[in-house]
Structure 1
Amino acid sequence: VIKYDMNYLKEALALVKAKIGADTKEPLTRSFNEQVKGLGSDGKGDRSNYYDFLKSVQEKIEVAINSKLNKHY
C-alpha cells in the first residue's frame, strides 16, 4: 500500500487563491467567501479598495470611449 502525503495541498491552494486574488484585484473574502482575517478587521477596507479599483477602471474606459466618440462625431 502506497501512502501519499497531501499536506502540501493546503499550502498550494492558499498560493493559488493568493495568485487569483492578486490577478483579479478582488478580495479573497469576496471571491472565495472566506472569513476576514485579522484582529478587529471586518473586511470593509478590502471592499472599499476593490470598489475604488473598479471605479477607476470604469472611469478610464469612459474616458477612452468618449475620446473615440468625439473623434468620429
Structure 2
Amino acid sequence: MTKQRRTFSTEFKHEAASLVLDQGYRFTEACKSLGVGETALRRWVDQLQGERGGVTPTTKALTPEQQRIQ
C-alpha cells in the first residue's frame, strides 16, 4: 500500500500561513486544526513572509500580487 500525497490549493496555503502570521496561532495549534504537517506549514509561512517582503517565489505564488507577477 502506498500513501497518496495530498495536494492543497494556493488559497488554502495562504489561509493556513495567515493563521500563524496574522492571527497569532502557534504552528502546532494550526497544524492540528488544519490536519497538515508542521513541515508543510512552516514552508508555506516562510513563502508567504518572503512574498510579503517582495521576493518572487519559484513555486506557485500565494499572494494575489505575486500571482499577477508570475
**TM class by smaller structure:** 0.3 to 0.5
Structure 1 or 2: larger helix share? 1
Report which structure shows greater RCO (CA 8 Å, sep ≥6).
2
Q: What is the TM-score of this pair, normalised by structure 1?
A: 0.32
TM-score scaled to structure 2, two decimals?
0.33
Based on CA coordinates, which of the two structures has the bigger radius of gyration?
Answer: 1
